[in-house]
Structure 1
Amino acid sequence: MRLKDFIEIMNPDLYQVLKQSVELGCWPDGRRLSEQEREASLQALIAWEFEHLPEEQRTGYMPVSCKSRQAPAQAEDEPASILRFRDT
């Protein structure tokens, strides 16, 4: 089935199932999504959102200006917060 054909038959309920499956990495019955299934589902979600949702509700939406740019300036003697990960 072509993506365009799938998007035409996709409804809000199916959209929610796909979205939750991509978020959790497994189908509602517990089976894990393969990489191909995840990629195809994400493509379908993005395409469906483009047709049915306002821009600010779509996956990956970024406002025109980041809220972090609007944050008050940090004092010079204050260290900047840096997120760091350790290998375990």
Structure 2
Amino acid sequence: MNAQQLTEIITPEAYQRLLYAVETGKWPEGTTLSQEQRDACIQAVMLFQSKHNTEPEHMTIAAGGEVCLKPKSELRQQFKLKDEHEILRVKTSDSMPDSDE
């Protein structure tokens, strides 16, 4: 089977399973991948992304097969907080009042 044939038969559901396997080193059921299996999964993920990834994230393969490297400024804009107060600030135990008081 060549790369073209492989990209035609990978379903979005199969892609998600392959992506999970690549990211974790295990199949969703928990079985560990061998290095050979992981290498094959990485290739299949990259092939699928090269055909279907129209909105690439930082460090992915974009549709057309190009490696997408988004600049930091674009990533900052993408993850920019709507409100500066969205960050939860937690006091450390040293600065918290004692419960005995």
Normalising by the smaller structure, the TM-score range is 0.5 to 0.7
Unaligned ranges ≥5, structure 2: 62-66, 74-101
Q: Which has the higher contact order (CA 8 A, sep 6+)?
A: 1
What does the per-residue CA deviation read over 1:36-74, in whole Å, with 9 as the maximum and x for residues that have no partner? 1101000010011010112623356312x444xxxxxxx
Greater than 6 Å deviation, 4+ residue runs: none
1:62 maps onto 2:69 in alignment: yes
Q: State percent identity of aligned pairs.
A: 32
SS in structure 2 at match of 1:56? coil
CA distance in 1, matches of 2:30, 2:3: 24
The structure number with the bigger radius of gyration is 2
Q: TM-score, normalized by length of structure 1?
A: 0.62
Q: TM-score, normalized by length of structure 2?
A: 0.55
1:6 aligns with 6
Q: Matches of residues 28-47 of structure 1 in structure 2 within 5 Å?
A: 28-47=28-47
Unaligned ranges ≥5, structure 1: 68-88
